[in-house]
Structure 1
Amino acid sequence: MKWSEICIHTTEEAIEPVTNILYEAGAGGVVIEDSQDLQQTFLSDEGSEYSLDPADYPIDGVNVKAYLPVNSFLGETVEEIKQSVNSLLLYDIDLGDGRLTFSEHNEEEWATAWKKYYKPVSVGEHFYIVPTWENFDPEDPNRKVIELDPGMAFGTGTHPTTVLCIEALETHMSKKAEVLDVGTGTGVLAIAAAKLGARKVHAVDLDQVAVQSAKINVKLNKVQDVVTVSRNNLSDNVKGQYAIVVANLLAELVIRLAEGGVADLLQKDGLLIASGIIRPKKEQVKEALIKSGLHVIEEMDSGDWIALVAEKAE
């Protein structure tokens, strides 16, 4: 069977919405080639460090590649993708040049080739994030291993926004804390919280594919006694109070989360860790957090990405 590879050259800010559009269009797989990944150091199966091949990545920005079956509906599907991607401009999302290109591949080529982009990597002070298909022997026995199978969900745990969240969890989470993970994706942040000693983690995502992926990864990492995963739109109808709410979302969704009363879900002195914020939108997000009754106590950054740690104000 032949597959058409659709490559959209865009920005980091647009990765998640573009990816969602491609999956909704019926993509049989997605690869994300982020030029910023070239700045990271990865680990081989033997634990030695190595760098990625620049030839596999764009000079700047991000390539989001989707795979669609070559059939009589392909032309219509591509037009729908173009319209949906362009409509993101209405939400003030920077698409970059949004250039779209095509190529064809046999099924055997794309079914395994995408795995070369996902390698073991050390994250924060406490973790290795390792794809399930890698035979990995940890060099540092003090680091905890998070096994991930990205499946059809967005994220492999190594994107700067995820790393910032993990680093913030390492700094601020107390043992036996109860944590809410909003927009869990593959479940990596919920798993990290559990491995850092959380008593209970409730992970939610609107995308049913992400929910299923997170459930699989939770079981892979043997934290199902701590982590529960369910489908939910942001924090709507979530009950209880939490020591930490972690939200790795687009800036617009962090603002919506704040306006939706996330402060009410925090215990006294509870913290919101919000990431996925592109630098030009930092002040807009901070204003929304302050209006919601939160006080920003820390800013973290990685490239163009910002994470904010906000405390419930009394």
Structure 2
Amino acid sequence: MNYKEITMMINHELEPYIAEILNEVGANGVVIEDSKELEIGRIETYGEIYELDPNDYPEEDVRVKVYFSEFDYNDGIIDQIKEKIHDLKDVPVSRLEFSTGDIEDEDWANEWKNHFHAFKASERFVVVPSWETYERQSDDELIIDLDPGMAFGTGDHATTSMCLKLAEKYVQPNKSVIDVGTGSGILSIAAHMLGAKDIKALDLDQVAVQVAIDNFKKNHCENFIEAQPGNLLVGETKKRDIIFANILAHIVDMMIDDSYALLNENGLIITSGIIDEKEQMIVEHLERVGYTIVEIMREKGWVAIVARKEV
């Protein structure tokens, strides 16, 4: 399968909103290269210092690479992106440039390798791409072997890393879990490693479901996680102890009522993919249906929320 690559140059004020917009138009993958990273100059991973290569980043503003499969791309997508950006309220648009190119299937895999490397995602979780090796630094580390393929969720995005941190804190052995919008399957894998049982992973995208299954096999947990296509929680009847929902705010909002009905007493919803501006809307809806807010985590303009079902 071939892919279409759209390269966008945008001003920094647009960056917190661009991932949600691109998801809405059906993007299969997004890479964000922020010129501000060069101000840091280097990063620390596992105690080693890596110099950032200026060639990987724009000299100014933000470069966004967006990928669509040949089946999902159409000539109107760029116009849709422009329209959604200009519909943003009180967000200045000082730079918005587009160019396009074609990516062969093999080049797609190599593109991921340029941007995704082993890293420590939380206190215990280390995410290692399938093309790299990693030596365990301590017995307490939990290593997730991951190949993102066409699915969202490598753990390096703030939304996923916050969910991993919250999973460490709230997922207890033998708890039942349903992972809505599983993407790469990373949160289901994390739940399994933390001792959860009866785990179900759902995604509307059949490609993402297959990517998740492949990652379950890489982590030797394919026999412990049920993966299947699903439209949020529609049709689900079995109650769970924990619901993961690392999706976008307006989609989280759509499933809050169903999530409350499908949780056991004192069950938790751990949700992210929420930009700062949508936090109050989600919190108010959670509280309105009966949830108690347990914890709110914020990182890089994104919000993750833990709420408990109170009976």
Match of 2:269 among 267, 272, 296: 272
Show the counterpart of 2:7.
Answer: 7
- Amino acid across the alignment from 2:79: Q
Q: 1:293 to 1:118 in 2, by over 3 A?
A: same
Show the counterpart of 1:85.
Answer: 81
- Amino acid across the alignment from 2:163: C
TM-score of the superposed pair, with normalisation by structure 1: 0.83
**Shift of the alpha carbon at 1:111?**
5.2
Q: 1:110 to 1:204 in 2, by over 3 A?
A: closer
Show the counterpart of 1:21.
Answer: 25
SS at match of 2:199: strand
Q: 1:254 to 1:92 in 2, by over 3 A?
A: farther
Q: 1:168 to 1:96 in 2, by over 3 A?
A: farther
**Shift of the alpha carbon at 1:228?**
1.1
SS at match of 1:283: helix
Show the counterpart of 1:72.
Answer: none
**Shift of the alpha carbon at 1:295?**
1.1
TM-score of the superposed pair, with normalisation by structure 2: 0.84
Show the counterpart of 2:175.
Answer: 177
Counterpart-to-counterpart distance in 2, 1:21 and 1:159: 19
**Shift of the alpha carbon at 1:186?**
0.5
Judge conservation of contact 2:27–2:68 (CA < 8 Å) in 1. no
Show the counterpart of 1:257.
Answer: 255
SS at match of 2:132: coil
Q: Which region of structure 1 is more displaced relative to structure 2, 104-113 or 190-199?
A: 104-113
Show the counterpart of 2:281.
Answer: 284
Q: 1:273 to 1:240 in 2, by over 3 A?
A: same
Q: Which structure 2 residues correspond to residues 214-225 of structure 1 after superposition, within 5 A?
A: 214-225=212-223
Q: 1:202 to 1:42 in 2, by over 3 A?
A: farther
Q: Which structure 2 residues correspond to residues 94-105 of structure 1 after superposition, within 5 A?
A: 97=93, 99-102=96-99, 104=101
SS at match of 2:74: helix
Q: 1:104 to 1:269 in 2, by over 3 A?
A: closer
Q: 1:4 to 1:221 in 2, by over 3 A?
A: closer
SS at match of 1:214: helix
Tell me whether 1:33 sits opposite 2:29 in the alignment: no
Show the counterpart of 1:65.
Answer: 66
Unaligned runs of 5+ in 2: none
Show the counterpart of 1:158.
Answer: 156
Q: Deviations over 1:12-38 (max 9, x none)?
A: 4332551563657xxxxx451243994
Tell me whether 1:129 sits opposite 2:127 in the alignment: yes
Show the counterpart of 1:299.
Answer: 296
Q: Deviations over 1:166-189 (max 9, x none)?
A: 111111111110011111110000
- Amino acid across the alignment from 1:65: V
Counterpart-to-counterpart distance in 2, 1:37 and 1:207: 33
Counterpart-to-counterpart distance in 2, 1:36 and 1:269: 44
- Amino acid across the alignment from 2:34: S
Show the counterpart of 2:202.
Answer: 204
- Amino acid across the alignment from 2:121: V
**Shift of the alpha carbon at 1:191?**
0.5
Counterpart-to-counterpart distance in 1, 2:27 and 2:62: 21
**Shift of the alpha carbon at 1:104?**
4.8
Q: 1:138 to 1:294 in 2, by over 3 A?
A: same
What is the RMSD of the two structures over their aligned residues, measured on CA atoms?
Answer: 3.4
Q: Deviations over 1:94-136 (max 9, x none)?
A: 9974824226578576652441100000011111101101122
Counterpart-to-counterpart distance in 1, 2:69 and 2:164: 33
Judge conservation of contact 2:27–2:66 (CA < 8 Å) in 1. no
* Identical positions, percent: 33
